[in-house]
Homo-oligomer: A and B are copies of this chain.
């Protein structure tokens, strides 16, 4: 079955909000740290950090907050805005999937037998 993915481009610089960043936010929520999320997603810490930094640069308020040092040795948490982004992205994905259903079915009917 055909699938559709969405990418949102924000601000003058066209910061991308897509599945990858949303999965990273969900990982941070689960692990309480960027490094834990990066590990789970098989992503270099540096890359994960840059994705978080890109989100924090794009929006008016932070999307992820980091605490350095202390007993817990740092850690990161998803803010209210970050939670809103996660929820909104999934709502958008669902809206798109249902709005596209007829088109995706029509495309599926055109796909070669060997590819099904």
In Å, the complex CA distance between A104 and B85 comes to 11
Given A96-B96, A115-B15, check contact A10 B91 (CB 8 Å): no
A8 contacts B107, C-beta separation under 8 Å: yes
On whether A13 and B60 interact (CB within 8 A), knowing A5-B6, A6-B96, A96-B6, the answer reads no
A12 proximal to B (CB < 8 A): yes
- Across the two chains, which residue of chain B brings its CB closest to A60? B112
Tallying the copies of this chain within the complex gives 2
Q: Name A45-62 residues within 8 Å CB distance of B.
A: 57-61
Give bound CA distance, A110 to B107, whole Å: 36
B residues in contact with A59, CB < 8 Å: 110-112
Query: Measured between alpha carbons, how far is A33 from B88 in the docked complex, in Å?
Result: 42
